[in-house]
Structure 1
């Protein structure tokens, strides 16, 4: 169905303070999933061919999720292996005033996948597993891919909330940002959406979460190397550094299509 013929709800985005609170609530689940994933041994062959096996696993999972409405309009959850929903098109009878969510065509999931495979997976080098098998096997591909898919979905959701962040910023400075969009001034748009103070706050909160989760694992008696705390901190910092960059690009791309 063509996007122009789709009847979609009027979804007003929340204010920036509320959005930041929503984003903060996602930091602990992300670090928790990362902590759990780092404690599963990894067979490197699972991620060969650009993560083909992982994406094949996720394709089945996402098809089931799509049937239940997980990726419906306005959910801000976007699949890694399925087509995206059609974008919104502004018409005289279907206007998108500032503050109304406007679906665009951009997804940051390809960048998230690349970062995951090339940067995060090397951190997953545990030699012990929290699964116990009588045959003494340590690898558990299904559990591994399930955690991968869960973590990737959390990262994607967190990043794509950037679309509503961008809409809020557009609504607060319509005239100036409209001019940037019309002149395709990506540098100015990037400057308009960047907030280094907020980024520093995100790093601090994520670091605190990593410290709490690593201490919880160590204090529970889990068989961890003494370097686990430092390793989790490093992985968390790398993750959120890239996540902020991907989120920022999602905001820029959203605004470039905002008047479409």
Structure 2
């Protein structure tokens, strides 16, 4: 997929292929995170031992912000498929800007679900994939690093819904224009939903979790990620929030 060529980005098959690649990355990041306990202290903005001078937020928030400040100067967030967690804090790139063609609507950066993604990740996903509940102070930095990698991967995957929405809009402008004018949220949701594709995603995830989730050379090895948990995360969190992104994007498409 080449973001300098809109015709490759707004091809639904290319988008689906890209989403499949993201699955592999996300699964392996889940496996990496499963080596550690929940470590709730790094998510607590009031934790006395992890407070950051002149910063309001958790240790994880501070770590995300520092990384985004650095990456923004490397022009990471100029790419249309990247969505920052702290959009009002990032800096201008040091590298020369890349003149990407206008693929998405100009308001697309305002469709930002990262706060919701982070909250659900901490509240629902971390307890599912962690080794056990509790802190492990010597690994706070490692856990925060793994969390950031996962949050960025989940964010990219979910916000790719904007490309799905734009592709579907351009494939049937008349239908979506009518739905948008009538603010028919249910109608938009019905038309963006492809149950057959979603079922294939869940089937594929089940197979991948069975293969990747345990060391094949160790028959007694501990399973790092179970198919049930992976399917639950996608079915109840990733896919629904992706469709929320699509709906919000489409509702503003006629601006």
Give the Å deviation of 1:46.
Answer: 1.8
Distance 1:124 1:21 in 2: 26
Give the Å deviation of 1:61.
Answer: 0.6
Structure-1 residue corresponding to 2:104: 101
Of residues 246-255 and 206-215 in structure 1, the stretch that sits farther from structure 2 once superposed is 206-215
Do 1:211 and 1:233's aligned partners in 2 also have CA atoms closer than 8 Å? Answer: yes
TM-score, normalised with respect to structure 2: 0.79
Do 1:41 and 1:139's aligned partners in 2 also have CA atoms closer than 8 Å? Answer: no
Give the Å deviation of 1:73.
Answer: 4.5
Structure-2 residue corresponding to 1:111: 116
TM-score, normalised with respect to structure 1: 0.78
Do 1:43 and 1:139's aligned partners in 2 also have CA atoms closer than 8 Å? Answer: no
Give deviations 1:143-181, integer Å, cap 9, x for gaps. Answer: 111110001111111111111111111011101101111
Distance 2:72 2:6 in 1: 20
Q: Per chain length, whose mean CA-contact separation is higher, i.e. which structure has more relative contact order (CA < 8 Å, sep 6+)?
A: 1
| Residues 240 and 139 of structure 1: CA distance in aligned 2, closer, same or farther (over 3 Å) | farther
SS in 2 for 1:143: helix
Give the Å deviation of 1:221.
Answer: 8.1
Distance 1:180 1:163 in 2: 17
Distance 2:146 2:220 in 1: 19
Structure-1 residue corresponding to 2:94: none
- Structure 2: which 5+ residue stretches go unaligned? 47-56, 91-100
SS in 1 for 2:38: coil
Distance 1:147 1:186 in 2: 36
| Residues 84 and 212 of structure 1: CA distance in aligned 2, closer, same or farther (over 3 Å) | farther
Give the Å deviation of 1:11.
Answer: 3.9
- Structure 1: which 5+ residue stretches go unaligned? 1-8, 86-95, 128-136
